[in-house]
């Protein structure tokens, strides 16, 4: 059976060079980075080199990079400390955020009684900047949390515009950039974001490691208590092999960024064209058909299939060896509809099956043709 992996927004395959580098570190550099002997100092040196490399891609200080277990922990670290330690009394966000943000914000509202405001969205799920400004004008001691690239529909936020708006109203700005780090260049000296989250497995690195960017002097405090690792932000022995693997993956992603962006963009355009030829009744969710206002790495399509048949679509795709997603992989165990699509689609369209196909440089046009053939038979 042919195997086609179109679920790169959930996780990406690790590059061979990353695996080789991680294996080398696990075999030869197994010291604890907190130990003062030679093996420990060697591990510490590797970790700090990785920190400097990652910081250089964002044009920030190495001390502003805090290693975490992934994007979810990074989001939690920032949001919880902002309320607990920085005195934030209102969080402004959207209903399309990743659950790592939405569920954390809901819990903070229960624990601390903060105000939570949700910015208005267009029919395509685009953040209403005028409404955001209205909310900021009437807020006090607030934090805005809006993701750069939506993980389900691919909508792209104008980070610079939102960051400038937050700065003008003395609000903190946090962005979940899990779907954009390694795929977009972000210069945080020109974009005044206060905090962001990233995860290595979204750019061909290992699972279980990511980082938070915490701007110098922010006042954010520890999320995990114990030792003094990560400058006191996060206690616990660092996984050096994962950190070096993340550094290696990020270096390769940015070294190949333009060539891979071109390849993947062409693949996405080809996929969209083939879907339109397949059926004029296929629609595209969010802005994913718009190359300017969505990421080049995914599409989310609503297929003209009756609900009684549509319920079997993902099962049939899986039987044909096609890996894709109904939405975020993080909610795959839930029987509920995607919270993102529920916000932007009418009830009639929600009854039809929607599928997210997400790409990497490992994918080919032949794989697209195979998927189109399977969909044609099913439709």
- Smallest CA-to-CA distance from 101 within 86, 79, 119, 118 is with 79
Whole-angstrom distance, CA of residue 207 vs CA of residue 249: 12
Q: How far is CA 301 from CA 206, 254, 324, in A?
A: 29, 29, 12
CB 54 within 8 A of CB 250: yes
| CA atoms of 8 and 205, how far apart (whole Å) | 12
Rounded Cα distance, 74 and 100, in Å: 9
Q: Is 220 left (phi over 0), alpha (psi -120 to 50) or beta?
A: beta
Instruction: With CA atoms as reference, report the closest residue to 356 among 2, 5, 6.
Output: 6
Active site residue 166: no
Query: How many other C-beta atoms can be found within 10 angstroms of the C-beta atom of residue 110?
Result: 8
Handedness of CA 88, 93, 99, 105 (dihedral sign): positive
- How many CA atoms, within 13 angstroms, populate the side-chain half-sphere of residue 355? 25
* Distance between first and last Cα of the chain: 21
Selected catalytic residue, list 166, 288, 324, 330: 330
The span from the CA of 14 to the CA of 267, in Å, is: 20
Tell me the catalytic residues: 330
């Amino acid at each position: 059976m042919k195997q086609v992996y179109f679920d790169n927004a959930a996780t990406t395959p690790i590059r061979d060079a990353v695996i080789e580098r991680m294996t080398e570190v696990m075999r030869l550099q197994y010291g604890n980075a907190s130990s003062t002997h030679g093996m420990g100092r060697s591990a510490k040196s590797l970790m700090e080199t990785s920190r400097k490399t990652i910081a250089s891609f964002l044009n920030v200080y190495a001390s502003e990079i805090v290693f975490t277990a992934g994007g979810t922990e990074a989001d939690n670290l920032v949001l919880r400390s902002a309320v607990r330690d920085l005195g934030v009394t209102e969080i402004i966000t959207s209903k399309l955020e990743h659950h790592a943000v939405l569920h954390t914000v809901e819990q903070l509202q229960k624990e601390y009684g903060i105000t939570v405001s949700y910015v208005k969205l267009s029919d395509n799920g685009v953040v209403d900047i005028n409404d955001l400004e209205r909310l900021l004008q009437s807020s006090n001691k607030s934090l805005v949390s809006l993701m750069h690239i939506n993980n389900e529909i691919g909508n792209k936020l104008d980070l610079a515009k939102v960051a400038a708006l937050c700065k003008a109203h003395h609000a903190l700005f946090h962005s979940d950039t899990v779907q954009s780090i390694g795929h977009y260049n972000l210069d945080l000296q020109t974009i005044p974001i206060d905090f962001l989250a990233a995860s290595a497995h979204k750019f061909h690195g290992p699972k279980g490691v990511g980082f938070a960017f915490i701007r110098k002097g922010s006042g954010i405090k520890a999320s995990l208590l114990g030792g003094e690792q990560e400058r006191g932000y996060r206690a616990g022995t660092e996984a050096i092999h994962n950190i070096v693997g993340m550094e290696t993956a990020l270096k390769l992603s940015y070294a190949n960024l333009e060539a891979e962006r071109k390849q993947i963009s062409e693949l996405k355009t080809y996929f969209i064209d083939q879907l339109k030829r397949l059926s004029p009744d296929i629609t595209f969710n969010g802005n994913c058909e718009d190359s300017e206002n969505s990421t080049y790495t995914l599409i989310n399509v609503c297929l003209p299939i009756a609900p009684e048949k549509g319920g079997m679509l993902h099962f049939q795709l899986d039987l044909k060896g096609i890996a894709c997603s109904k939405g975020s992989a993080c909610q795959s165990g839930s029987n509920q509809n995607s919270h993102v699509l529920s916000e932007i689609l009418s009830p009639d369209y929600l009854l039809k099956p929607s599928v997210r196909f997400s790409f990497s440089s490992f994918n080919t046009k032949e794989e697209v043709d195979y998927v189109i053939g399977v969909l044609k038979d099913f439709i």
